Amino acid sequence: MTMNDQTLKDSLTKLKGTGVRITPQRHAILDYLIKSTAHPTADDIYKALEGKFPNMSVATVYNNLRVFREVGLVKELTYGDASSRFDFWHKDHYHIICTNCSKMVDFDYPGLDEVEQLAKHVSGFDVTHHRLEVYGLCPDCKK
């Protein structure tokens, strides 16, 4: 069993545990998100799966993404452009975004967890989360 297969299995188990019924569309959308490294929009997901599910609508994709977000499997990424992107949330990570083509790539940097502790100490806030984006030109756009 591959890591993606195990992640899908674990995610489906988590969904079932919250009382969410596993439809073929939910299964396919979740599988697509787990395998995707492109941080797709709902429209991207719809276009990728419409051949397999001709009766599925964009609204179905959005509704399922909302369910996944509420359960904590998916994060909705909004970066000021017109459409949200969706990211399967397997662990805390950050994003670097191309200022030319909007390509988004994950990167890890565990040291930033200390920022939350410092922010809490300095401000007295109960910190719930943080977000970091790094911007630049991707290798393809640099050419």
Indicate the domain borders of the chain: 3-88, 94-142
Q: When comparing pLDDT for 133 and 58, which is higher?
A: 58
Unique residue bearing structure tokens 């670097």: 96
> What architecture does CATH give domain 94-142?
2-Layer Sandwich (3.30)
80 band by pLDDT with thresholds 50, 70 and 90: low
Give the residue among 56, 57, 71 at the shortest CA–CA distance from 19.
Answer: 71
- Domain 3-88 falls in which CATH fold? Arc Repressor Mutant, subunit A (1.10.10)
Pairing assessment for the beta strands 85-88 and 74-77 based on DSSP bridges: antiparallel
pLDDT tens sequence across 16-70: 999 999 999 999 999 999 998 888 999 999 999 999 999 999 999 999 999 999 9
Give pLDDT, residue 124. Answer: 94
82 band by pLDDT with thresholds 50, 70 and 90: low
Give pLDDT, residue 123. Answer: 94
Task: Decide if 3-88 and 94-142 have a common fold.
Answer: no
CA dihedral of residues 4, 17, 64, 102 (deg, nearest 10): -40
